[in-house]
A and B are shown apart, each in its own frame.
Chain A
């Protein structure tokens, strides 16, 4: 069933009884060409691109719980490409180009809103870093400007210019950045993959891998053994555990990142704003809630929940930046498990086990990478070659030193 205003109207007249499942719930088959472990955005997008771009349709996506139950549904929905390294800019810019056509391609409104993103600078040095970001964006054709203090005042009169601890010098304006409705991205890819024949199997926990002569041949699951030629792992937050089942380690620590939303309010914030000095970023959802976040809690965790110090710090940063939000109320806070790599950049690569591919290490930025991550991972699984937009995200880089360390924090994942 193709979605459209007409279908909404027609079904509305008949009591909305004729809508069909957005994806099926099939029984797992005995064997697939590719098994994707993890039914989040990356896993579903990978399955979708395997089927659509590479014609590989005998694919299963195994999900331990319900699809989109991990970080895909626990983030602050920001999409951007204003990075500081060639590898990341190339990749995230590719992601944005896919986002721009996603709704039409999937026939599903994921509410991708290119409302633009402001990254504030608080010193001459930071402004030069902002210029570098803007220059990177421009090289890749994504636009990008440096805003003066006066322009900031004009665009964002509600920021604290009067008695700030860290005065605003200006900003980098990233017009192509924005937000999307996170759950819808998962459901849209699920629907797209399902319609191309991919089996999405929920409530199917992976318990181990059958590896023969260094080569993966199947997956042991809570719903029985499933044979396969290739395995693609896309289990953000749980990569360490799944890798351990396959017998290898990763340059990753799991960390908790909290996110927050306020009660619904009438529109006050048209763009996404990043306040690097306070480790704070904020946008307003279409429902009216202010959605914001900050740094990692700072310690390894698989608990999907955080603690007060970071929560308070984030709110303090919010008050420092835009004291107009004081009377809005925090409605809900939650935590996601972030696969933090040792250089803060992702990994899309083969693994030490043959035919076992890994898509991991998205740190706290995996949501925006769902489009390009799925595309690049499908490309690698299908062709055996790195996707040209993601050819630096290798495991080998930790041995060679060709690191992609945007912050310079080094091998201290909690600081990236």
Chain B
């Protein structure tokens, strides 16, 4: 498996660490309540197709990356710096 790091280009998967679904970007407000945090931390769509997810280019530029990847085929549709995605979302 190879991953396109927006900074470093195509790199072997061994350089990266996987975290989980990109919903982890959307931390609830501190006063959103316990249930909101339970949903945020534990519950997942877990789709068999396209999946937005977070990877860390651990052995490279150490950027957190938002990747869109197909969970059925492992094919990457896109990779973007998480910081850019987060800033853009604002």
Which residues does A use to contact B, with CB under 8 Å? 238, 240-241, 244, 249-254, 298-303, 307, 309, 342, 398-399, 411-414
Q: Would you mind naming 12 contact pairs between A and B with Cβ atoms under 8 Å apart?
A: A240-B46, A240-B47, A241-B46, A250-B44, A252-B46, A254-B48, A302-B48, A307-B13, A399-B34, A399-B35, A411-B41, A411-B42
Closest CB of chain A to B22's CB: distance in Å? 11
Contacts of B14 in A (CB 8 A): 309
| Contact between A414 and B20, CB atoms less than 8 A apart | yes
Closest CB of chain A to B53's CB: distance in Å? 6
Closest CB of chain B to A209's CB: distance in Å? 17
Known: A238-B48, A399-B35. 4 other contacts (CB 8 A): A249-B45, A300-B71, A302-B71, A399-B34
Please give me the residue from chain A that is nearest to B74 by CB atom.
A303
Docked Cα-Cα span, A41 to B13, in Å, equals: 33
Docked Cα-Cα span, A253 to B53, in Å, equals: 12
Docked Cα-Cα span, A68 to B69, in Å, equals: 28
Given that A301-B74, A303-B72, A412-B19 are known contacts, is A240 also in contact with B38, CB under 8 Å in the complex?
no
| Contact between A250 and B43, CB atoms less than 8 A apart | yes
| Contact between A251 and B42, CB atoms less than 8 A apart | yes
| Contact between B45 and A244, CB atoms less than 8 A apart | yes
Given that A302-B71, A303-B71 are known contacts, is A253 also in contact with B21, CB under 8 Å in the complex?
yes
Which residues does B use to contact A, with CB under 8 Å? 1, 12-14, 17-21, 34-35, 38, 41-48, 51, 53, 55, 69, 71-74
Dominant SS at the A interface? Answer: mixed
| Contact between B42 and A300, CB atoms less than 8 A apart | no
Closest CB of chain B to A305's CB: distance in Å? 8
Contacts of A414 in B (CB 8 A): 18, 20
| Contact between A309 and B72, CB atoms less than 8 A apart | no
Docked Cα-Cα span, A392 to B18, in Å, equals: 29
Please give me the residue from chain A that is nearest to B38 by CB atom.
A399
Contacts of B41 in A (CB 8 A): 342, 411
Closest CB of chain A to B16's CB: distance in Å? 9
* B1, B12, B38, B46 — most chain A CB neighbours (10 Å): B46
Contacts of B1 in A (CB 8 A): 307, 309
| Contact between A254 and B18, CB atoms less than 8 A apart | no
Please give me the residue from chain A that is nearest to B51 by CB atom.
A300
Please give me the residue from chain B that is nearest to A237 by CB atom.
B48
Closest CB of chain A to B88's CB: distance in Å? 24
Contacts of A342 in B (CB 8 A): 41-42
Docked Cα-Cα span, A299 to B17, in Å, equals: 9
Contacts of B19 in A (CB 8 A): 412
Please give me the residue from chain A that is nearest to B71 by CB atom.
A302
Please give me the residue from chain A that is nearest to B39 by CB atom.
A249
| Contact between A253 and B44, CB atoms less than 8 A apart | yes
Contact of B44 among A238, A252, A307 (CB under 8 A): A252
Contacts of A309 in B (CB 8 A): 1, 12-14
Please give me the residue from chain A that is nearest to B18 by CB atom.
A299
Contacts of A249 in B (CB 8 A): 43-46
Given that A253-B20, A253-B21, A414-B20 are known contacts, is A398 also in contact with B44, CB under 8 Å in the complex?
no
Contact of B46 among A253, A398, A399, A412 (CB under 8 A): A253
| Contact between B46 and A299, CB atoms less than 8 A apart | no
| Contact between A303 and B46, CB atoms less than 8 A apart | no
* Nearest 9 A/B pairs, CB to CB: A240-B46, A251-B42, A299-B18, A249-B43, A302-B48, A398-B42, A342-B42, A307-B1, A302-B71
| Contact between A302 and B72, CB atoms less than 8 A apart | yes
Contact of A240 among B13, B17, B20, B48 (CB under 8 A): B48
Please give me the residue from chain A that is nearest to B35 by CB atom.
A399
